[in-house]
Homo-oligomer: A and B are copies of this chain.
Amino acid sequence: MDTIKYQLGDDQIPTTWYNLAADLPLLSPALHPGTGEPATVADLVGIMPKELAEQELSLEREIEIPAVVRQIYAQWRPSPLFRARRLEQALDTPARIYYKYEGGSPAGSHKPNTAIAQAFYNKAAGIRRLATETGAGQWGSALSLAGAFFGLEVKVFMVQVSYHQKPYRRALMQTYGATCVPSPSMETAAGRGILAQDPDCPGSLGIATSEAIEVAMNDPFTNYAGGSVLNHVALHQSVIGQEALRQLELAEDYPDIVIGAAGGGSNLAGLAFPFLGRQLRGGARVRVIAAEPVACPSLTRGQIAYDFGDATGLTPLLKMHTLGHSFVPPAIHAGGLRYHGIAPLVSQALQDGLLEARAVPQSRCFEAGLLFARSEGIVPAPESTHAIRVAVDEALRLKAEGRSQAIVFGLSGHGHFDLGAYERHLAGELVDEAYDAESVARSLAELPTVAGS
């Protein structure tokens, strides 16, 4: 019987998170926007607990995972690594394709890996409520789940276009007891300001982030919880790649290529960073490919600059590939990838030649998603189909070249709340949103100037 699943026991759930910052040659620090000085723990504790602020700035390689967090992880971790044998057959490729599946978490994606950790530290710090943004709703529902587990209220600003595209995601957050409002909203100054300029604004992750941070800044018992981009989020997601390393040992294989979809960068980072860390410490080299949407291509078309993480300038300045914080991406179904920038750690890895990036159009992603669903059975989230598209393309390239290599990609979540998009794809109604170079140029012209520079 050919093995199709590499399953680890609960005793193999990682005991520490892995921090790539410890192994990168150089990382540009986040800056306080007023002073231009590197951000400190004191700058961050207004919106997050001290432990998370320390993790955000940490250069330690390994940080211990609290026992309570590991116990909750055990409900769905270690997550399975699958060998995609039926997909390989469908493609008739000599490639050995593996995927690390995070959709088995109760919220259906990799997001609870950090949501649980963030809720734990916030609860311990006496916080009563968490505010956040969400695109497709994967992060919002993960934080809502974590709030339910730890007895924290959760307030989610959901990007308006996704709020209407994915009503069941909203219902999921409410089922977990959270409140969810479409963003931009009239509840914050940030939202009101944007609606005054553009009453029909479809919203963006950057705008929703501004709203959530504003709510957190105005209430001492409310903190902000970020679903991607931040260093501590990439840190928490490192359980994915650490497990994959052990599972590939069981498979007696090692990847030539590691692929992840990239929006804010947390899933890619979670899967790929432990492999890159090993490489940086003298281990085997892997090609890491970030798959991003053509309509929102921060890595392939963005500028490397200090920019805000949100739309209205409430965050520290982050050095990253950015399309400009005021860019509002087209309404693609992969709402989780509609972000103007990308995690500074991912950005730095690209600059350091540790990874490459590739932009893929929506319709080709859904094609790959459909092929995957029919061969492997799991209906992938629209975000995840970007990784599948690149994995399929690489497998077909290897077929053309007559070479066998090992490909590992991140299947970040299932698409159970996105079947409306599959229905539209099957009906031929899904259009490819073009890259809007003019809007990006306008947005890049508004990049902040760094104080003191």
Contacts and interface: CB of A to CB of B under 8 A. Distances in A.
A375 interface: yes
Interface string A345-373: 00000000000000000000000001001
Contact of A71 (B2, B176, B422): B2
Given A7-B7, A416-B168, A422-B171, A1 B70 contact: yes
Interface residues on A, range: 35 or more
A145 interface: yes
Contacts of A71: 1-2, 4
Contact of A377 (B4, B82, B148, B171): B148
A168 B419 contact: yes
Contacts of A82: 75
Contacts of A106: 376-379
Interface in A1-54: 1-5, 7, 9-10
A53 to B, nearest CB: 27
Nearest to A415: B175
Nearest to A427: B174
Interface string A394-414: 000000000000000000001
Contact of A379 (B175, B370, B376): B175
A107 interface: yes
A192 interface: no
B377 A416 contact: no
A171 B75 contact: no
A416 B107 CA distance: 10
A13 to B, nearest CB: 10
Interface in A66-106: 67, 70-71, 74-75, 82, 86, 104, 106
A377 B176 CA distance: 8
A86 B374 contact: no
Given A149-B86, A416-B416, A4 B75 contact: yes
Contacts of A423: 167, 171, 174
A348 B282 CA distance: 66
Given A3-B10, A416-B417, 17 more contacts: A5-B74, A104-B104, A106-B377, A108-B416, A148-B374, A168-B168, A168-B417, A168-B420, A171-B419, A171-B420, A171-B422, A171-B423, A172-B379, A174-B422, A175-B373, A175-B419, A177-B374
